[in-house]
Amino acid sequence: MTVLPIVIAPDPRLLQKSAPVAAVDDDLRRLMDDMLETMYASNGIGLAAVQVGVHKRVLVMDIARGSDRYEGRDESKSQPLFLVNPQIVGESEEQNIYEEGCLSFPGNFGEVERPKQVKVRYLDYHGKEQLLEADGLLATCVQHEMDHLDGKVFVDHLSLVRRDMILRKMKKAKKQMQAEG
Ligand code: NI
């Protein structure tokens, strides 16, 4: 498995819509394995393919393992989830607020309100249709990752002032990184 470079904002690739996957084959499984490895290496709990520059409707998550940010990290508790062509088929009226971060926005966080529970239909690692009934952090995570598939990022849910502040900060950090080579 390979740790892939993560696309860092601002980057036009993050604003592009991802295309549905036609077949879950070995090539796609290799991509999902690499995505999981990449997510673990960055201490994340979710990653969409677009974040490694691949515009396919694929995401990986692992809430059980957690992260330093959300209730600590426990590497003995790996429970990876692979979701292909995910679709929300139900959501609660009740909302939840989490302070979200994103591997494409390192060091930046913001409170986002989303439905507390969602039902998601998807194809798993083997191409089998599954239904995920997510609540709490898992529900927030899957909605955050699914936003990525439509070219949306978590800062789009924040106030314009907060969003612009984060984007300006990211732009500056990127310029600095490029200047340092
Ligand atoms: Ni993200």
Give the active site residue among 94, 99, 145, 180: 145
Residues with C-beta atoms within 5 A of ion ligand 1 = 102
Q: Within 10 Å of residue 11's Cβ, how many Cβ atoms?
A: 15
User: pLDDT 10s per residue in the chain (181 long)?
Assistant: 899 999 999 999 999 999 999 999 999 999 999 999 999 999 999 999 999 999 999 999 998 776 666 666 677 778 999 999 999 999 999 999 999 999 999 999 999 999 999 999 999 999 999 999 999 999 999 999 999 999 999 999 999 999 999 999 999 998 888 888 7
Per the annotation, the verdict on 75 as an active-site residue is: no
In single-letter form, the type of residue at position 152 comes to K
What distance in angstroms lies between residue 44's CA and the mean position of ligand 1's atoms?
Answer: 9
What distance in angstroms lies between residue 5's CA and the mean position of ligand 1's atoms?
Answer: 14
Domains of the chain with bracketed CATH: 12-176 (3.90.45.10)
Q: For residues 92-105, b (16+ Cβ closer than 10 Å) or e, as one string?
A: eeeebebebbbbbb
The pTM score is: 0.94
